[in-house]
Structure 1
């Protein structure tokens, strides 16, 4: 039977090997941080809007090149452009078509009469014929070069103001064939480039970042005091990929090296090292294959998290070789059979704990749960199926293992004495105070792990350009295109007073570029009446008979607008049809103070079809909700584990169960004492403690008084600490919080578990 299992497992491993070759050739790894976040269960249209806004900027890199004066700024921009051009295999310029404005003007020309700003509507409504005539006369005698179009097309000069309102959506202005702005004591040139590859493709390293850094260096060399500020999704994606790759190497290979060193010190034989290494390698390979088969793409952070599996999956090999040490090779089968019940129970509790991560609606966490559960199972099967067949030589007891095994007799054991009761009471007080001081904090911004220089550049560039925020916006829905545009107009009427009060800088709406048909008809009638009065006044004053130009008879429709040259400025905000409804996004500029967000949220109240979206607050709320759910899951899990242990160990089950409970409580108390926030990822670490911490007690109860069981538990605990200790040093805040909880909990549980071991029975005389 054992040989059949070994052959069957070998066939599975062979299939995994074939898959690994094809997988790494394609390398479908995902670094998109949005993939780690929960999908919006209640509003898929909000998720669609968020992704549309994110995808629009997925390849774009925006740069501002500045200097003290305009001439130097142009020189610096030329130096940056030349340096970026040397990376033609990675970047390409997003060419600014100088004829785009002329094309847009020509496109809008037939509809000029129905394009009015709110202030123009107010003025045309209240202006007298004399005021209109005076304005028209002034425009008539204005030099032709200062006019955007002929006088008879725009006798009141309304169109330049409309275009100026559109230009106010960005601070950049054309100057000498470039896009220019002035701010913070410098003259700036705006450069826009695109990545030729996906922002989330790992490729051959941080090539976009390297190109930007070369351009920065070239600017600083070419122009004294020159400065380059850059931002873009590709830069963030490459930084995340580089950081995750470094951590994966550090955590994974560092843990592996530490584990193998422990095996050598304990057994002084290459055979345990090789076989434990095989179990770990196959565990990770099978985990990756299973994850790749169940998910479209494997996230890079899944591999980073999974690299900590090394500190857990070697437990089964440790237990086998610790029990096998000092026994004849012929006893391999009986040794494995004696270990199998405890190892299987430990595997079940660990896998259940890992799979509990999948309860939260985080695609990334589900991947991590599947990866870890599959990896542990594969390592377990490798030990059970192959180790008795491959472990053929002698394995003598070493001095190191003998001392470690004997140390269990010197470990303090909890008894019903006054000293232990006082110790327990003191710990209870410390835990209670720590739990009282513990503060939950679910702000999504705490999970941001981008390099500080990227964040600083992003903020400076946002200040200078007045870029809209993709995290807070208004989602407008309606039964038709017309209703969406009309509702946008109603929303803008409420936002205009806040812009005047400088609560925020402004907004960018589709209806600014494409008014509703009703608004177009109303504005066309208003401008026709006012301009007719103006033309009549000019005729009466000059004795001539000027005529007003003719305009399009049909309104500008969404389909015609979206096919025109002006749509590129706003296309990403027109979501179109989602389900049976139409949607658009109104974006806000200059949101620099979080305190104004409640005022903006209040604007949407009472407006049908208008929804305020604060994606940061929504995800933060979801993090808090699932933190509470997972907290309840921990409590339920401990009850379920206790019942499982009681089925195996009866009244003594509490000895394997209580150390994990105490480890969880002490970890939370330590977080409270040091002021560390309680986050969802902290709670997720505690979920895993439930499964892995109980393993130590299971093995000590399965083999009471057996020094080899304590040796295996000690080695497993130390290797787990090394693995999750490195994870606690991660630069990714979520992984760091998770790893810190695991580190503190594992230390506590590892120390406490032998204190609750069964009393050693005295031999009868």
Structure 2
């Protein structure tokens, strides 16, 4: 007999150590796959993390070409970074150029940088000055690129007006980028530039650098600009780390060598790096506080170091398995999943807490075999109802939310397995019930007072009254489906982007017009027609806002238009009135003849020549061109381009909500004006995502009803119809109260709020299940001693409140809405469950 007992004990010890070895191996694998330890960083750096917002959002456009254009623009914007250095005007300008040269040289030596648009030191043999490059480009196509309106005014002008224009041109021989008087006596090159997207910026060329004057911190500042093109994706971890380190070192270098300077940067890589850093901090903060909070609660309730360590092990292994599983299936963890995973700690500990509570309830009569036979049904029921909620989330066509559901499902399953397999083998000995029972004395006494004082009909009346009261709040509900719920970038980055966008005219907008045509010429003609119509339609709003456009046709008119204006200009240049006007102000005949010859030799500018010109590089992305690869041919049948509107509010002092309202009016008018134009599609990715969120929010609201029926059915299958109704009532009423509070506080409901409501149904019902299972068990010395079970239920709820409540302090509005909704729902469920249990016991 002793030998048999020894063999059983040895088998249990082996099983325990095997499970511990499995757990440690899993934790080690998760660390290697997910984290990258760097001694210089205050926290663990995450490797397999997806920071690309478009990777989270499904396709929202019916037009395949529109979706292709969105990806095309996103790829361009993610590979570009704008860098600016500002100093107060008229102070240390030479040092500014020297600092810019030093930073540009440093960037050129970085493997992650493909190209820097800035002067080289020493100058490269193939590097041309920006002005010289434009001069050579424009001279070659001078007649064809003449602005038709400017030429028409001269064709109809009197000799005196022509001479006056020539005299003014003599006093200002060239503009910042225009040709000099000998090559362009009437200044058409400057007018061409003013009509192009270059006019949207305030940039000028100074010592080979792009500079401008801006108002910064209330005083005029000189801004020096560099455009940097990156190797690889802006969402690559190593690239983000390299540029973040460069940014830190550059700030330190400027603080020492040029203290009055300020570094400004903007680009997808900055936003991606900021989102990663914020997610890492949120994960650290939520995870650490949750683990410490769980340890404090377990120590207070059970005064056992083993309970704390095993509880930690169960939840850490569950989360580690979830991270590994998602990484294996999806390749990367999204930021939303990452932060949510830290908050899942409070839910995965539920199973361990219920194990400890049941063991404490059994006291000296604890038997592993009998105890687990009675406990497993309760744990399975809690696991099943939770999985039902997350399975509903997995049906949403949003990759990030599907990944959250997958993460939670794996984590809960593994934690359940750890509790049912490891903990019974580790804690196979009885425990004194008094070690934790006195902690819940006041809970059980209050529960008994409820049972004695309030009959079932009073509780039913109270529930009905709560629903009636909440109805007023339900009628006040509003909704919000803005894409900005997914991302809330730091204010400092938004300010830097606003400064650099205003100074350069470059934008990263995902709201644009897609122009399609069978040939490049048709596309250009449709661009010109659309811009003319939009300008005419927007005249009525000119006191509220102005709209500029980024379009290829503003640099490159259709070939028919180019040829027509070239013929007109060449003919007009030969007329006696033109020649006499030039001679009258003293222009030599040889200069006039050379100018006329130059006009004759100029040729129209083709789309191929424009795209090959270095001048087109900042705007090359506007031309999608003709499809070449199989994927492009499936998306774009012919030729295509994009026109990006830039909205400028006339009232610079307008409040943020007023500005947003005016921008919304402008976008609506742009959409209306383009509706009937052939080959034109208005693409509004943020608007499309908001519509998608609204549609999913409505569908998920109907899904909540389905989940309520499913959960009720599962409960009825085990406990019967009457018990199922009592057990599910608290969660349903809690969801109504949460919605009512949103209505009373005028807090809009979003898709992520509805997600929280759905999980209230799936997760909140666990507390009623645990309470009822504890009441119906026959293994306790007396059925009246419910203190350990009540304490376990409250501990489970408190850990869930702690973890999901911490989502309220994250920087992501979506997670804030999800966490606060779920927290309020769990709190209400916890308070209402004893009442429902009371009515069930009375009945």
Which interval holds the TM-score relative to the shorter structure? 0.7 to 0.9
Tell me by how many angstroms 1:721 deviates: 0.7
Q: 1:192 aligns with which of 197, 217, 226?
A: 226
Q: Is 1:171 aligned to 2:202, yes or no?
A: yes
Corresponding residue number in structure 1 for 2:347: 312
Q: Write the deviation string for residues 620-667 of structure 1: whole angstroms up to 9, x where unpaired.
A: 222222111111111221122212222222222111111110110111
Contact kept? 1:65, 1:226, Cα under 8 Å: yes
Task: Give the 3 Å change call, closer, same or farther, for CA 368–213 of structure 1 in structure 2.
Answer: same
Q: 2:618 aligns with which of 569, 574, 599?
A: 569
Classify the secondary structure of the residue corresponding to 2:645: strand
Tell me by how many angstroms 1:685 deviates: 0.9
Q: 1:450 aligns with which of 465, 482, 489?
A: 489
Q: 1:127 aligns with which of 146, 150, 156?
A: 156
Contact kept? 1:29, 1:299, Cα under 8 Å: yes
| Inter-partner Cα distance in structure 2 for 1:203 and 1:662 | 49
RMSD of aligned C-alpha atoms?
3.9
Tell me by how many angstroms 1:349 deviates: 1.6
Corresponding residue number in structure 2 for 1:94: 116
| Inter-partner Cα distance in structure 2 for 1:281 and 1:639 | 33
Tell me by how many angstroms 1:418 deviates: 6.5
Q: How does 1:611-622 map to 2 (within 5 A)?
A: 611-622=681-692
Contact kept? 1:111, 1:556, Cα under 8 Å: yes
Moved more, 738-747 or 159-168: 159-168
Moved more, 720-729 or 325-334: 325-334
Q: 1:432 aligns with which of 471, 474, 484?
A: 471
Contact kept? 1:472, 1:615, Cα under 8 Å: yes
Corresponding residue number in structure 2 for 1:701: 772
Corresponding residue number in structure 1 for 2:3: none
Corresponding residue number in structure 2 for 1:716: 796
Q: 5+ residue gaps in structure 1?
A: none
Q: Is 1:659 aligned to 2:730, yes or no?
A: yes
Moved more, 536-545 or 732-741: 536-545
Corresponding residue number in structure 2 for 1:549: 598
Corresponding residue number in structure 2 for 1:397: 433
Task: Give the 3 Å change call, closer, same or farther, for CA 43–121 of structure 1 in structure 2.
Answer: farther
Contact kept? 1:132, 1:534, Cα under 8 Å: no
Contact kept? 2:570, 2:599, Cα under 8 Å: no
Tell me by how many angstroms 1:462 deviates: 3.1
Task: Give the 3 Å change call, closer, same or farther, for CA 298–113 of structure 1 in structure 2.
Answer: same
Q: 2:404 aligns with which of 364, 368, 387?
A: 368
Q: Write the deviation string for residues 273-315 of structure 1: whole angstroms up to 9, x where unpaired.
A: 2322222122112111211122132113311111111111111
Corresponding residue number in structure 2 for 1:508: 550
Contact kept? 1:477, 1:610, Cα under 8 Å: yes
| Inter-partner Cα distance in structure 1 for 2:97 and 2:598 | 43
Contact kept? 1:90, 1:208, Cα under 8 Å: no
Tell me by how many angstroms 1:472 deviates: 2.5
Contact kept? 2:482, 2:690, Cα under 8 Å: yes
| Inter-partner Cα distance in structure 2 for 1:320 and 1:140 | 90
Q: 5+ residue gaps in structure 2?
A: 1-10, 37-46, 120-127, 650-661, 778-785
TM-score, length-scaled by structure 2: 0.80
Tell me by how many angstroms 1:168 deviates: 0.8
Contact kept? 2:357, 2:792, Cα under 8 Å: yes
Q: How does 1:729-744 map to 2 (within 5 A)?
A: 729-744=809-824
Q: How does 1:739-758 map to 2 (within 5 A)?
A: 739-757=819-837
Q: Write the deviation string for residues 199-234 of structure 1: whole angstroms up to 9, x where unpaired.
A: 334459877456546656776777787555443333
| Inter-partner Cα distance in structure 2 for 1:457 and 1:18 | 41
Tell me by how many angstroms 1:398 deviates: 4.0
Contact kept? 1:67, 1:73, Cα under 8 Å: yes
Q: How does 1:308-707 map to 2 (within 5 A)?
A: 308-325=343-360, 326-327=362-363, 331-404=367-440, 407-408=443-444, 410-411=446-447, 412-413=450-451, 416=455, 419-420=458-459, 423-468=462-507, 470-497=509-536, 501=542, 503-533=545-575, 537-538=579-580, 546=593, 547-549=596-598, 555-576=604-625, 577=627, 578=632, 579=635, 580-592=637-649, 593-594=662-663, 595-650=665-720, 651-704=722-775, 707=786
Task: Give the 3 Å change call, closer, same or farther, for CA 137–237 of structure 1 in structure 2.
Answer: closer
Tell me by how many angstroms 1:726 deviates: 1.1
Task: Give the 3 Å change call, closer, same or farther, for CA 667–133 of structure 1 in structure 2.
Answer: closer
Task: Give the 3 Å change call, closer, same or farther, for CA 539–597 of structure 1 in structure 2.
Answer: closer
Q: Write the deviation string for residues 450-470 of structure 1: whole angstroms up to 9, x where unpaired.
A: 222222333333334444451
Q: Is 1:70 aligned to 2:81, yes or no?
A: no
| Inter-partner Cα distance in structure 2 for 1:596 and 1:275 | 59
Task: Give the 3 Å change call, closer, same or farther, for CA 480–281 of structure 1 in structure 2.
Answer: same
Q: Is 1:40 aligned to 2:63, yes or no?
A: no
Tell me by how many angstroms 1:748 deviates: 0.5
Contact kept? 1:90, 1:207, Cα under 8 Å: no
Corresponding residue number in structure 1 for 2:293: 258
Contact kept? 2:58, 2:398, Cα under 8 Å: yes
Task: Give the 3 Å change call, closer, same or farther, for CA 684–581 of structure 1 in structure 2.
Answer: farther
Task: Give the 3 Å change call, closer, same or farther, for CA 610–196 of structure 1 in structure 2.
Answer: closer
Task: Give the 3 Å change call, closer, same or farther, for CA 360–122 of structure 1 in structure 2.
Answer: farther
| Inter-partner Cα distance in structure 2 for 1:420 and 1:282 | 41
Moved more, 332-341 or 229-238: 229-238
Q: Write the deviation string for residues 702-757 of structure 1: whole angstroms up to 9, x where unpaired.
A: 34255244333222111101111111221221111111101100101111112212
Q: How does 1:225-264 map to 2 (within 5 A)?
A: 227-264=262-299
Give the length in aligned residue pairs.
Answer: 761
| Inter-partner Cα distance in structure 2 for 1:553 and 1:175 | 29
Task: Give the 3 Å change call, closer, same or farther, for CA 400–14 of structure 1 in structure 2.
Answer: closer
Moved more, 79-88 or 736-745: 79-88
Corresponding residue number in structure 1 for 2:124: none
Task: Give the 3 Å change call, closer, same or farther, for CA 469–244 of structure 1 in structure 2.
Answer: closer
Q: Write the deviation string for residues 76-121 of structure 1: whole angstroms up to 9, x where unpaired.
A: 5645765787787698682325524423443454332221335236
